[in-house]
Amino acid sequence: MRDIQSLTLPCGTSVPALGQGTWNMGESPTKAAGEVRALQLGIELGMTLIDTAEMYADGGSEKVVGKAISGRRDQVYLVSKVLPSNASRRGTIAACEASLRRLGVERLDLYLLHWRGRYALAETVEAFETLIRDGKIAHWGVSNFDTEDMDELGELSGGDQVQTNQVLYNLSRRGIEYDLMPWSVRHRVPVMAYSPIEQGRLLRHAALMSVAKRHNATPAQIALAWVLRHPGVIAIPKTGSVAHLEENRASVDVELDETDLDTLDREFAAPQRKQPLEMI
């Protein structure tokens, strides 16, 4: 199996382009052990970037991640998110401390604002700076920010410290290619692509199945290889299944050629004009 490509964040830290999502983990106690196993196998196979959020299973996802990384904290690049309703100067700090407790760690590697809400961005950025000063997070970033949000952030004092923008991106959600992705390349802020297999909805698509057949691969692997073809993109598929985890990890062995990309472009057209950022 090939190594996973790595990517350098603006702060200089190197992270793997293929990480692991955790939405819906921690919802069901009967599934928790399997989720921990899948996450641990992912870490062993190099998918060491793990994305979670206080929102997921109301903190339950962070608890599952905490179990999975116990004793291997140093191998993991840990990302969590603050809800916009908590993203005030004080609320952000309290939310982060609660996340740290659930995760059983002293520091997050990256802390994201989950999406924009009622608090002024400047207030949240100030809270992030306090958390960095206090050693509770190493860096911060954002999620679900459209191009104008990134511009607005860039104008704030300290706004240039943003490390990533986590957004919806997959074959059926290509809107960001028009302007947000070029923005990210220009500013060297990697995109972290969430729902890279459209929560499983892409997998029965005929075009994906035909490209998969050519490569003796699966539709999930083609969908992931397609997202990962961009050098500035990190993909964070979620799976609580060891078999799916192995399958997703092997997506880095798939090399899509022009014929594949043409087939996929015909079915999933690239945007020809600005589209408002979609969210799931």
Choosing from 51, 62, 109, 149, the residue that interacts with ligand NAP (CB under 6 A) is: 51
Residue 203 in the binding site for ligand NAP (CB under 6 A):
yes
| Minimum distance from residue 221 beta carbon to ligand NAP (Å) | 7
Provide the β-strand partners of residue 6: 16
Considering Cα of 45, then 67, then 53, then 89, what sign does the dihedral take? negative
CA distances from 275 to 164, 175, 179, 208, 237 (A): 20, 5, 9, 24, 24
Residue 80 in the binding site for ligand NAP (CB under 6 A):
no
The residues, any chain, with a CB within 8 Å of residue 118's CB and separated by 6 or more, are 84, 85
**Subset of 223-252 contacting ligand NAP (CB under 6 A):** 236-241, 244, 247-248
Residue 139 in the binding site for ligand NAP (CB under 6 A):
no
Residue 40 in the binding site for ligand NAP (CB under 6 A):
no
**Cα–Cα distance, 57 to 55 (Å, whole number):** 6
Residue 198 in the binding site for ligand NAP (CB under 6 A):
yes
**Subset of 84-113 contacting ligand NAP (CB under 6 A):** none
Closest CA to 158 of 185, 128, 180, 187: 128
Residue 220 in the binding site for ligand NAP (CB under 6 A):
yes
Nearer to ligand NAP, 134 or 177 (CB): 177
Q: Are strands 6-8 and 14-16 parallel, antiparallel or unpaired?
A: antiparallel
Q: Could you list the residues that contact ligand NAP (CB under 6 A)?
A: 21-23, 51, 114, 143-144, 166, 194-200, 203, 220, 236-241, 244, 247-248, 280
